[in-house]
Amino acid sequence: MMKAPRIALLAASILVAALPAHASDASPRVRFGVADLGNGVRLHYASEGSGAPIVFLHGSLSDMSYWKQTVDAFSAHYTAIAYSRRYNLPNHNRAIAGYSALTDADDLAAFVRTQHLGKIVLVGHSYGALDALFFAVRHPEMLRALVLVEPPAISLLEQLPAARAAEGRAMYRDIQRRMVRPMQDAFRSGDRERGVATFIDYVFDDPHRWERWSQEDRDATLRDAHEWDVMLARGTLFPPLSAQAVRSIAAPTLIVSGAQTYPFLHLIDDDLAESIPNAEYLVVPEVGHQVWLERPRTCEEITEHFLARALASRS
């Protein structure tokens, strides 16, 4: 399959940014609501603008306020919506067994139905992008176009083409051995701070990164870790996604990657760009995993240009 184009743009990096969701800080045009999905699940959301719906999914250690500026920017041409995933603030949903990105994908489908959105444009960052991948596979009839910003679809590392197969398998084993299993052990024993510290130290490749953070930064990060209380204790952090399922995604797709992101995400993004039939691939230099947070206008512009082409071709 022909490789999707790589286009260089500008940005910089940071890791964790869970911004407080204060209504008073939002545009006066923003509408806040709570969607009742049934079975006691309620999701807080913010919406602004009118037109075709575009939904933004935040990653881990975050909430819907991650997209505060973006919702306002896209509201000029779309109904721009951001919501907090099931166990992220300000939601208070009952913990269930088996929680994973699959649950999030089905929550989004229920959200689309209850809000009568029809087909949506979907933008996901980090774990929200993994949710978006599963949504594209499980609910393709609801999807107009897809923007993926560094999804941690780590099961794909075990399914890479021969040229990178050994590298991918080694990375997968390392992630499981040094991050996933220690996080599970910590959360299942009730030591959530050790679980979050394991994650931070691993992704920064620095065994002392967490201990050097200020107490204020640690407290803010732990505040936003409740989804891991549920997921790592009784669910699955990275559910399997097959390469065949990825190849079935028919919606126009934009993959955005930071040039200085974690090596395992580079491998995954490269593979997604090769595998998704209608994919474009844009790499932003001088930026890490938080490409959208650090250069929001750059990401907004490339997404707007992509959607102008993608939606026109399907009208």
Domain 6-154+242-313: what homologous superfamily?
A: Alpha/Beta hydrolase fold, catalytic domain (3.40.50.1820)
According to the model, what pLDDT value does residue 219 have? Answer: 95
According to the model, what pLDDT value does residue 25 have? Answer: 57
DSSP the chain: -PPPPEEE------S-------GGGS-TT-EEEEEEEETTEEEEEEEE--SSEEEEE--SS--GGGGHHHHHHHTTTSEEEEE--TTSTT------TT-SHHHHHHHHHHHHHHTT--SEEEEEETHHHHHHHHHHHH-GGGEEEEEEE----GGGGGG--HHHHHHHHHHHHHHIIIIIHHHHHHHHTT-HHHHHHHHHHHHTT-TTHHHHS-HHHHHHHHHT-HHHHHHHHHS-SS----HHHHHT--S-EEEEEETTS-HHHHHHHHHHHHHSTTEEEEEETT--TTHHHHSHHHHHHHHHHHHHHHHHHT-
According to the model, what pLDDT value does residue 21 have? Answer: 40
According to the model, what pLDDT value does residue 11 have? Answer: 26
Rounded distance between C-alpha atoms, residue 56 and residue 132, angstroms: 9
What are the average pLDDT values for consecutive 10-residue runs of the chain, which has 315 residues?
35 31 61 97 97 97 95 96 97 97 98 98 98 98 98 98 96 98 97 97 95 96 95 96 97 96 95 96 95 94 96 75
According to the model, what pLDDT value does residue 312 have? Answer: 86
Domain residue ranges of the chain, discontinuous segments joined by +:
6-154+242-313, 157-234
According to the model, what pLDDT value does residue 313 have? Answer: 74
According to the model, what pLDDT value does residue 315 have? Answer: 58
